[in-house]
């Protein structure tokens, strides 16, 4: 019936623009009438004008028919009236010269002109809405004249077979006049008149009718598309990756969103399949980002909601009717005819006097009614169900959202985009949509179409465009088909089929059959299909098919069901998906546009976790038990050696002289054995290691108790060995002192003696520096006297051999240990060259587990509490006390090294760890207790890195400027992080769990070390990350060398951007919303702290389809040296890009924009709906 001609008549692509639905609430049975023309609520301006005209000539005028007086000019009233009369007479003459039957005027018409048209027998209708005026003009094929004074061309008068005015009596007792322009050309437009008793039902019927009309119109065009390509719908194929990606996983929950969606039909096309939004899938309900969005994520209505809404609306209608009846009774009489009638007519003096007498009451009543209507609307807005919040409403799904961008390798913008990817909301046959033919001709086959980028002068024909929607990327490329034909095969088409027609075909790159080229017309060269493996025959597209919505065409390529179609020059039927696995070609003149569909897998964004955990390791219970047996055997062997030596020592001839050594060592050995036995008895008090399963977790209390017990047992054994060796050295010193004294006495009394007995010594395998001023009995060894004539005993007679430590030499087990805290061991690291380096993690862990640290932290809390300022995280930014009072220093040393640890903001970091690290302080200390040197590649800071053995935390060296910067904004950092956690705000900051200054001095070789380190979570903990980027948003000197075989390589911005067009990292809509919000929160916070030069660390976990990211290196403020560095780089090294170091405000803006570009969204059907889609 109604036809849309976009090419010929320049019609709008939406057929609903030419179908008007009129609602009449009357006291009749529901009915519908189709009028081939226009029906509008209006009446002729004068009651004496004709109201029914056959074969009416219709004239449409925009503006008004009035005389415009000159403002501010004084003149005689008679002259003005004469000028007005003359002007209007001429205007009416111009109108009558066209011989119209009906004149339609958009605005007012002067009374004199009305009288002149009345005398001429012309029907006049004034104050018509612009859209109604154009609707009538279209149906009657009339031209809308903008002005009678500026007529340049001959106006076309419209024709209407039947014009009439009808009066309709409404259900509320009032009447309404309708103008009916009927029996017009049916392809130009029509009107549908709906009659019923309920206005609510009429509104619903109108809404449904418009939806059905548009759906039917689109389905006819889609059928033509499928028919031309010979597509047939098949069952789901496992070979089509896009179909597999679009398939929803089963959800066993009967109340899930998926089951609700299956009960609804959202698409007007049966071949379009809408998937479930990710956050409503079984996997999405476990997504860590889900709690950050407002719930419910997607509002939809149940049957109960619709029933309640229906009852509410019915009650409101009844209330309105009762109020109208009450108002009519109170009025007593009907409204005055002057108020009701919309037509001009002759009146008598009595009616005029009556109106003058009662007009005040009449208008007062109108004001009262208006106020009542306003009050009812406000109440309705508060109570009535909001239909627009129902995401399962099919009306709001008649649109798609696509990510559009363009790029050219020849453009000076490369490697950046000419059109930065942005999300376009395309309403089907509405806003931002156009017909397929218009898109091809304007944007693909138009050689004059220029790139929208002002800095690009490359023709758009040399550009590639991408449209990303759901799980596909549709790449559009246009080229001039001037290539020769490889196989020489051609297909002849008649000139009538080719002239000005768009030719379409598609091919399957998976099939191995080749096809030839198709000449489009005499002036065109043959098209080369050399790149095609199998191709369908080329067909010309008719005008109606070119009217198909371009958005609907994209919808088929992204969401279409599996379908197959035939291809030319192929013996078997192609079994590949026609929508997703075929390439679609369109040609006009000598240009060819190709639509290639590539599957994409959008990533999920994962931030650094709010609650930090350490994934437990699994150990066999046998392994734990074997550890106990090993330490038991080691201790028994050590103690047995000591006992044996003591027994031999007791049998020496000079035992009595050195019995104090025996007594002391026996006592120490007995105490050590007792402590060891008592400690080892705590290994498995509950017996769980013997009665449990085969394995045990590292975070199990039984395992932790056993581990600490073994460590403390090692301390006990090592302590005994140290004490034993100290006494051995002192014994040897005493023997040497006695021999020296005895030898001197012998020389002085016996002059003939020329030699002394040789002293045989045993190799001392461990040298211990001993203070020789003390002896076990409290006397110096040299003070003991030897009788003259006595022989000096040999060292073999009074000797205790030092005992070697059975433990690794890298362990500093001679340090004091605590019985109440975590049992940690300070360790040394030995590099490949054999150089000894301190284990930074073990030093920090030992300091945090020491009694000295606990005592000082308790004193600090008590001091702050006495001052009325207890430690908190939230209000720390407002405190003005000297931050030095919040730091703790811990010193400790053994015979080999001396250590110093300064713990910055000790109590606040302890509180922060308590908030973020739920497994407790002891678990944190255990994780730090073993670390190794770590050398990530790609960074340029030159800082040292260490990583804990369990990979949970990273130590990063801080420069002097960084530690100074952190001291300034640390209180704000505590406040920001704690607020983000407690108030559930998104943040990408990699949390810092402690800042320490570590000092170390090796007493043996004099090696010294002093460095400031921060402890932060390792972002890629337990992640299978293959690619890592450190992104700052800068393109200046941000390229890392991608050498082969390099491990832990960190790439930079330029590495990502150089091929960003072909390797874009698309993210899900909810991830994009969360990322934008988190980046905005963090960058503005850091900018407020005058911090810049931070970066976003990004790792790609392909196995899980996740992007793990977090902001790091946010310890540098914009100090004077950085300002100078920025100024020098801008002036001395000019370039197109700003340097990395710029002001915090500029850095914040550049950083946010760059991250937004680096990670574009892959929109889907649910983009823009629900609480998780605002970005």
List, for residues 201-259, the tens digit of each pLDDT value.
Answer: 999 999 999 999 999 999 999 888 888 777 788 766 668 888 888 888 877 777 788 88
Q: How confident is residue 1172, by pLDDT bands cut at 50, 70 and 90?
A: low
pLDDT at 495: 31
Report the pLDDT value the prediction gives residue 51, as an integer from 0 to 100: 93
Alpha carbon distance 537, 539 (integer Å) = 6
* Whether CATH 3.30.810.10 fits 1024-1175: yes
Q: Which residues of 9-42 are buried (b: 16+ CB within 10 A; e: fewer)?
A: eebebbbbbbbbbbbbbbeeeeeeeebbbbbbeb
Question: Is residue 780 pLDDT above 50, yes or no?
Answer: no
Q: Which residue has the higher pLDDT, 742 or 660?
A: 660
CA atoms of 980 and 560, how far apart (whole Å)? 42
Q: How confident is the model at residue 767 (pLDDT cuts 50, 70, 90)?
A: very low
| Residue 982 reports pLDDT greater than 50 | yes
User: Phi/psi of residue 202, each to 5°?
Assistant: -65, -40
The rounded percent of the chain whose pLDDT value lies above 90 is: 40
Query: What string of H, E and C letters represents the secondary structure of 665-688?
Result: HHHHHHHHHHHHHHHHCCCCCCCH
Quote the tokens at residue 524: 């065109």
Q: How far apart are CA 952 and CA 698, in angstroms?
A: 14
Most confident of 152-166, 642-656, 712-726: 712-726
Cα(827)–Cα(897) distance, rounded to whole angstroms? 11
Mean pLDDT of all residues in 784-791 = 30
H/E element, 90: helix 77-97
Under the banding of pLDDT at 50, 70 and 90, the label for residue 498 is low
More confident residue, 790 or 144: 144
Task: Calculate mean pLDDT across residues 413-420.
Answer: 88
* pLDDT higher than 70, residue 1113: yes
Question: Could you give phi then psi for residue 145, rounded to 5 degrees?
Answer: -80, 125
Give the confidence band of 341 by pLDDT, cuts at 50, 70, 90.
low
pLDDT tops 60 at residue 199:
yes
Least confident of 128-137, 395-404, 442-451, 485-494: 485-494
Q: How confident is the model at residue 160 (pLDDT cuts 50, 70, 90)?
A: very high
Rg of the chain over all Cα atoms, to the nearest angstrom: 46
Instruction: Categorize the per-residue pLDDT at 731 as very low, low, confident or very high, splitting at 50, 70 and 90.
Output: confident
Q: Please give the mean pLDDT across all residues of the chain.
A: 81
Retrieve residue 710's tokens. 């073994």
CATH number attached to the domain at 808-1018: 3.30.800.10
pLDDT at residue 758 is higher than 50: no
**SS3 state at 1167:** coil
pLDDT value, residue 924 = 94
Cα distance between residue 555 and residue 240, in whole Å: 17
Please name the residues in contact with 305: beta carbons below 8 A apart, sequence gap of 6 or more. Answer: 385
**What is the four-CA torsion angle of 356, 359, 361, 362, rounded to 10 degrees?**
150
d(CA 1095, CA 896): 41
pLDDT, residue 1140, reads 67
Above 50 in pLDDT, residue 514? no
Q: At 510, is the pLDDT very low, low, confident or very high (cuts 50, 70, 90)?
A: confident
CA dist 442 → 434, 438, 461, 539, 803 (Å): 10, 6, 11, 21, 92
Q: H or E element: which one contains 888?
A: strand 888-893
What would the mean pLDDT of 1036-1060 be, rounded to a whole number? Answer: 80
pLDDT at 520 over 90: no
Better-scored residue on pLDDT, 226 or 113: 113
Q: Are strands 144-145 and 52-61 parallel, antiparallel or unpaired?
A: parallel
The two tokens of residue 1002 are 């090796």
**Of 210, 556, 267, nearest to 396 (Cα)?**
267
Q: How buried is residue 130: exposed, middle or buried, by Cβ count under 10 Å (0-12/13-18/19+)?
A: exposed
Binned at pLDDT 50, 70 and 90, residue 364 comes out as low
SS (H, E, C) 259-277: HHHHCCCCCCCCCECCCCC
Predicted local distance difference test score (pLDDT) of residue 602: 95
pLDDT, mean of residues 1125-1142:
59
Strand, helix or coil for residue 13: coil
Could you tell me if 578 and 563 are in contact, meaning their C-beta atoms sit under 8 angstroms apart?
Answer: yes
From CA 883, how far away is CA 968, in angstroms rounded? 9
- Sorting pLDDT into bands at 50, 70 and 90, what band is 342? low
The gap between the terminal CA atoms of the chain, to the nearest Å, is 43
pLDDT classification of 384: cutoffs 50, 70, 90: very low
- What pLDDT, on the 0 to 100 scale, is given for residue 517? 35
The whole-angstrom separation of Cα 160 and Cα 141 is 9
Q: What DSSP character marks residue 1100?
A: E
What pLDDT digit, counting tens, does each position of 576-607 carry? 888 888 888 888 888 889 999 999 999 999 99
Q: What's the whole-number mean pLDDT along residues 783-804?
A: 51
Stretch 108-122: mean pLDDT, rounded? 93
pLDDT value, residue 81: 85
- Residue 325 is predicted with a pLDDT of 58
pLDDT for the residue numbered 487: 37
Least confident of 134-143, 493-502, 1165-1174: 493-502
Confidence of residue 20 (pLDDT cuts 50, 70, 90): very high
Instruction: Provide mean pLDDT across the span 161-171.
Output: 93
Domains of the chain by residue range: 15-197, 218-300+392-601, 333-381, 619-803, 808-1018, 1024-1175
Q: What is the pLDDT of residue 658?
A: 82
**33-89: per-residue pLDDT in tens?**
999 999 999 999 998 999 999 999 999 999 899 888 766 667 778 888 888 899 999
| φ, ψ (nearest 5 deg) of residue 592 | -125, 130
CA 204 to each of CA 6, 21, 192, 376: distance values in angstroms, whole numbers, following the listed order: 30, 12, 14, 21
Quote the strand ranges of 310-383, DSSP E: none
CATH class of the region 15-197: alpha beta
Averaged pLDDT, 808-830: 87
Nearest-angstrom CA–CA distance, 880 and 878: 6
Structure tokens at 442: 């304007």
CA distance 183 to 165: 14
Average pLDDT over residues 146-157: 71
**pLDDT, tens digit (0-9, with 9 covering 90-100), for 454-480:** 889 898 888 999 999 999 999 999 988
Give the integer Cα–Cα distance in Å for 1144 and 1032.
12
- Give the per-residue pLDDT at 345: 61
Write out pLDDT tens, residues 838-897: 999 999 999 999 999 999 999 988 888 877 777 888 764 445 445 567 899 999 999 899
pLDDT beyond 70 at 323: no
Amino acid 775: pLDDT: 35
Q: Can you tell me the mean pLDDT for 626-652?
A: 90
Token pair in block for residue 630:
């090993």
Please say if the pLDDT value at position 525 is more than 50: no
Q: Looking at residue 781, what is its pLDDT?
A: 31
Q: How far apart are the C-alpha atoms of 1006 and 836, rounded to whole Å?
A: 12
pLDDT at 825 (0 to 100): 92
The pLDDT value recorded for residue 485 is 35
């Amino acid at each position: 019936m109604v036809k849309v001609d976009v090419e010929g008549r320049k019609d709008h692509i939406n057929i609903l623009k030419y179908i008007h639905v009129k609602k009449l609430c009357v006291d009749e049975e529901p009915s519908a009438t189709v009028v081939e023309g226009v029906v509008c609520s209006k009446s002729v301006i004068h009651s004496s004008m004709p109201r029914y005209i056959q074969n009416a000539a219709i004239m449409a005028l925009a503006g008004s028919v009035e005389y415009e007086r000159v403002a501010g000019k004084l003149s005689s009233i008679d002259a003005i009236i004469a000028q007005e009369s003359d002007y209007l007479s001429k205007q009416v003459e111009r109108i009558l010269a066209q011989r119209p039957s009906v004149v339609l005027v958009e605005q007012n018409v002067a009374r004199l002109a009305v009288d002149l048209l009345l005398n001429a027998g012309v029907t006049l209708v004034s104050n018509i809405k612009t859209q109604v005026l154009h609707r009538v003009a279209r149906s009657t094929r009339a031209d809308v004249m903008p002005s009678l004074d500026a007529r340049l061309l001959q106006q076309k008068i419209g024709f209407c077979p039947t014009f009439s005015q009808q009066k309709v009596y409404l259900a509320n007792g009032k009447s309404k006049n309708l103008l009916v322009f009927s029996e017009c050309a049916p392809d130009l437009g029509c009107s549908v008149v709906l009659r019923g008793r309920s206005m609510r039902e009429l509104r619903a019927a109108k809404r449904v009718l418009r939806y059905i009309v548009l759906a039917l119109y689109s389905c006819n065009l889609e059928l033509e598309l499928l028919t031309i390509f010979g597509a047939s719908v098949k069952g789901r194929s496992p070979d089509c990756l896009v179909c597999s990606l679009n398939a929803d996983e089963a959800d066993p929950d009967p109340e899930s969103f998926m089951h609700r969606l299956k009960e609804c039909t959202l698409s007007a096309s049966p071949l379009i399949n809408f998937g479930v939004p990710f956050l409503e899938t079984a996997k999405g309900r476990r997504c860590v980002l889900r709690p950050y969005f407002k719930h419910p994520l997607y509002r939809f209505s149940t049957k109960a909601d619709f029933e309640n809404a229906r009852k509410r609306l019915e009650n409101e209608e009844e209330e309105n009717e009762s109020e109208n009846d009450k108002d009519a009774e109170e009025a007593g009489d009907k409204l005055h005819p002057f108020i009701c009638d919309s037509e001009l007519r002759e009146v008598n003096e009595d009616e005029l006097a009556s109106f003058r007498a009662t007009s005040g009451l009449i208008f007062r009543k109108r004001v009262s009614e208006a106020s009542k209507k306003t009050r009812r609307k406000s109440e309705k807005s508060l109570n009535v169900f909001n239909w627009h919040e129902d995401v399962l409403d099919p009306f709001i799904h008649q649109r798609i959202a696509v990510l559009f961008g363009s790029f050219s390798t020849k453009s000076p913008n490369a490697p950046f985009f000419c059109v930065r990817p942005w999300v376009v909301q395309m309403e089907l046959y509405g806003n931002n949509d156009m017909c397929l033919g218009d898109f091809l001709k304007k944007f693909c086959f138009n050689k004059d179409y220029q790139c929208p980028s002002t800095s690009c002068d490359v023709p758009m024909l040399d550009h590639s465009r991408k449209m990303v929607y759901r799980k596909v990327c549709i790449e559009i490329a246009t080229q001039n088909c001037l290539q020769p034909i490889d196989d020489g095969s051609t297909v002849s088409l008649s000139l009538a089929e080719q002239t000005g027609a768009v030719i379409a075909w598609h091919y399957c790159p998976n099939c191995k059959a080749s096809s030839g080229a198709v000449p489009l017309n005499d002036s065109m060269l043959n098209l080369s299909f050399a790149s095609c493996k199998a191709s369908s025959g080329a067909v010309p597209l008719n005008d109606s098919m070119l009217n198909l919505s371009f958005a609907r065409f994209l919808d088929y390529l992204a969401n279409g069901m599996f379908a197959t179609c035939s291809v030319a020059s192929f013996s078997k039927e192609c079994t590949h998906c026609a929508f997703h696995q075929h390439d679609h070609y369109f040609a006009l003149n000598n240009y060819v546009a190709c639509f290639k569909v590539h599957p994409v897998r959008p990533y999920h964004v994962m931030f650094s976790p709010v609650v930090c955990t350490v994934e437990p390791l699994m150990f066999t219970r046998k392994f734990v038990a074997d550890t106990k047996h090993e330490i038991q055997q080691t201790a028994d062997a050590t103690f047995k050696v000591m006992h044996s030596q003591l027994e031999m020592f007791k049998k020496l001839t000079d035992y009595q002289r050195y019995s104090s050594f025996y007594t002391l060592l026996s006592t120490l050995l007995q105490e050590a054995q007792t402590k060891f036995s008592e400690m080892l008895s705590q290994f498995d008090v509950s017996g769980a290691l013997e009665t449990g399963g085969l394995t045990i977790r590292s975070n199990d209390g039984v395992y932790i108790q056993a581990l600490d017990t073994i460590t403390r047992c090692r301390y006990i054994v090592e302590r005994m060995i140290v004490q034993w060796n100290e006494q051995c050295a002192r014994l040897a010193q005493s023997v040497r002192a006695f021999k020296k004294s005895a030898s001197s006495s012998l020389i002085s009394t016996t002059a003939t003696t020329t030699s002394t007995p040789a002293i045989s010594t045993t190799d001392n395998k461990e040298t211990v520096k001993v203070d020789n001023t003390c002896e076990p009995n409290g006397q110096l060894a040299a003070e003991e006297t030897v009788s003259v004539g006595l022989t000096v005993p040999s060292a073999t007679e009074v000797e205790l051999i030092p005992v070697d430590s059975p433990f690794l030499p890298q362990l500093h087990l001679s340090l004091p240990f605590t019985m109440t805290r975590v049992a940690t061991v300070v360790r040394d690291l030995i590099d490949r060259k054999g150089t000894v380096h301190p284990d930074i993690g073990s030093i920090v862990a030992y300091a945090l587990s020491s009694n000295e640290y606990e005592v000082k932290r308790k004193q600090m809390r008590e001091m702050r509490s006495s001052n009325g300022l207890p430690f908190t995280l939230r209000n720390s930014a407002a405190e003005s006390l000297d931050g030095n009072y919040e730091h703790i220093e811990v010193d400790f040393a053994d015979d080999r090294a001396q250590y110093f640890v300064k713990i910055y903001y000790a109590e606040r970091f302890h509180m922060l760890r308590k908030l973020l690290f739920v497994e407790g302080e002891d678990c944190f200390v255990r994780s730090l207790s073993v670390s190794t040197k770590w050398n990530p590649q790609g960074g340029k800071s030159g800082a040292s890195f260490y990583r804990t053995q369990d990979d949970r935390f990273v130590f990063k060296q801080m420069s002097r400027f960084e530690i100074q910067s952190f001291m300034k904004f640390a209180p704000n950092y505590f406040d920001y992080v704690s607020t983000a956690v407690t108030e559930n705000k998104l943040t990408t900051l990699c949390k810092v769990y402690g800042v320490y200054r570590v000092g170390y001095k090796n007493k043996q070789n004099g090696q010294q070390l002093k460095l400031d380190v921060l402890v932060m979570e390792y972002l890629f903990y337990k992640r299978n990350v293959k690619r890592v980027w450190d992104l700052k948003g800068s393109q200046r000197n941000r390229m890392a060398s991608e050498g082969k075989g390099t491990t832990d390589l960190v790439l930079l911005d330029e590495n990502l951007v150089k091929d960003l067009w072909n390797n874009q990292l698309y993210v899900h809509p909810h991830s994009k919303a969360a990322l934008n919000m988190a980046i905005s929160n963090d960058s503005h916070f850091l900018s407020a702290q005058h911090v810049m030069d931070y970066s976003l660390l990004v790792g790609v976990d392909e196995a899980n389809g996740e992007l793990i990211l977090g902001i790091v290196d946010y310890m540098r403020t914009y100090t004077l040296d950085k300002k100078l560095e920025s100024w020098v780089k801008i002036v001395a090294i000019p370039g197109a890009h700003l340097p990395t170091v710029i002001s915090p405000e500029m850095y914040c803006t550049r950083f946010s924009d760059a991250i937004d570009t680096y990670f574009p969204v892959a929109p889907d059907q649910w983009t823009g709906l629900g609480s998780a889609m605002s970005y």
